[in-house]
Structure 1
Amino acid sequence: MIRVAIAGAYGRMGREVTKTVWNADDMELIGATDSKGEGVDVGSLIEAGEIGVLIEKDLEELILRTRPDVLIDFTIPQAVYRNIMTCLNHGVRPVVGTSGLSQEKIQEIIDVSQSLGVGGLIAPNFAIGAILMMKFASEAVRHFPHVEIIELHHDQKVDAPSGTSIKTAETIIEQRGDFEQGSVNEFENITGVRGGKLTGGIRIHSVRLPGLVAHQEVIFGGLGQTLTIRHDSTTRESFMPGVLLGIRKVVHLERVVYGLDKLLFD
């Protein structure tokens, strides 16, 4: 049995993950933390009745007492780095769906995990379809170098652009390299209207609206034609097969990897 704790258990993604781990035959839910809901039995959040796992605030105290094998983190950008480092320093494998980490922080985490021999996963997106979208986009850019990304999320997402869009752009740039597209005389009448521009020349546009969950379009333009690759997560259940895959795989890793594709395709 894989002993699993969840950080961010009170949130919407945290509740879905809690339900998924609770129902997994090869996992044991042994702890939960969140800045909200302290003392709440997580079973009441997933319609399982009281299960004896109460939400706590202190992650390190939880780790020292319960000794989980894996910690799943769906918290906030301001807390995720500290949570990951706490896990690594105590030999707990982090599986992270929280976005907002810089590339410098991600590389630091990978380096520290490698020195400690502790596996883990930082995944901008856990939906298998989203991983395939990124793979298809990296193939398409070999023939369509002009590309922009539109990502759409619910209006409670606090960071922009999404980790998925950044990861997609990085994957495309690995294939395409730097490429300056568009008119050299282009200017904005409203600052930011053309989206954010990553090193490598790809623009990302972020939409935040109620009614959305997680969606992304990668739009390629060519002579007399366009190609759009789109993925839609309409419910948070779409992320759960990837979360389970991550939990099961990280117990065999000796360093943190970035992207679920590393577990699907490598």
Structure 2
Amino acid sequence: MSGFLRSGFGLLSIVALLLSVVALVGSLVLPRMLGAGQPSSSPAAEPVASGSPSSSPSVTPSEPASTPSPSAPVEAAPPPAPPTAAEGALQALATIPVTDASAWVPDYRRAEFGDAWIDVDGNGCSQRQDVLMRDLDQIVMFADGSCRVQTGVLDDPYTGVLVPFQHGEQTSQAVQIDHLVPLALAWRSGAWAWSPEQRVQFANDTSLLLAVEGGINQSRSDSDLAEWLPPEADARCGFVITIVEGVARYGLSMTAASHATAEAVLTGCGDEPGIVPAD
């Protein structure tokens, strides 16, 4: 009997020990298994009271964009000033070819330019009388209606001298009409190849005709710009301006020396007009 009890007691001890081990393992493992499916046990964040300021960083309302003040209207740049007569003549000079001195030119004859002082514009007055009426002061016309200047006074542009004019065989030549581009010079510069009608028109173009003192006109003869300029220095800009414009307009040439003289004079000019008075 006692042996049975001892063996039974030993069995119970083993069972008890096993149960103790199981209980210990369960106490360690089961809470972990159960905790995996449960919500976090972290304390919930306290609700923010409805009246308390937000914990978010405060944002300062942006200032309303200021309305830009209307900018002043942009003024258009003033148009460039038109070129002076001298500047225009310099531009024209650049287009004028240089005379080929070696080229053959037929002999000059005044008759190639038609009769002197005809009425090419049909106004009833010869071109000489048209120029005298334009350039002289204090003019008195013949009373017979023949469109002839009887007397007048010329302020000679080449010398600045006052020249009285009296029509007559012995007195009329005191005032002569200068071809600013002399006909013989024009002939050598290309007019020899023109038609007779072109030469007549050129010889009577009042924009290239000027009343001057007779002696100074004779001394100039058919000289070009390199050979002759007016003695009156104040007349030189207008003189060169008108000649260069005329040569360019008619497609004539100029010698290299005349080119250089014209450029030198024109670059020193201000706002002087051409030498021929406006009609």
TM-score normalised over the length of structure 1: 0.21
Higher-Rg structure is 2
TM-score normalised over the length of structure 2: 0.21
Higher strand share: 1
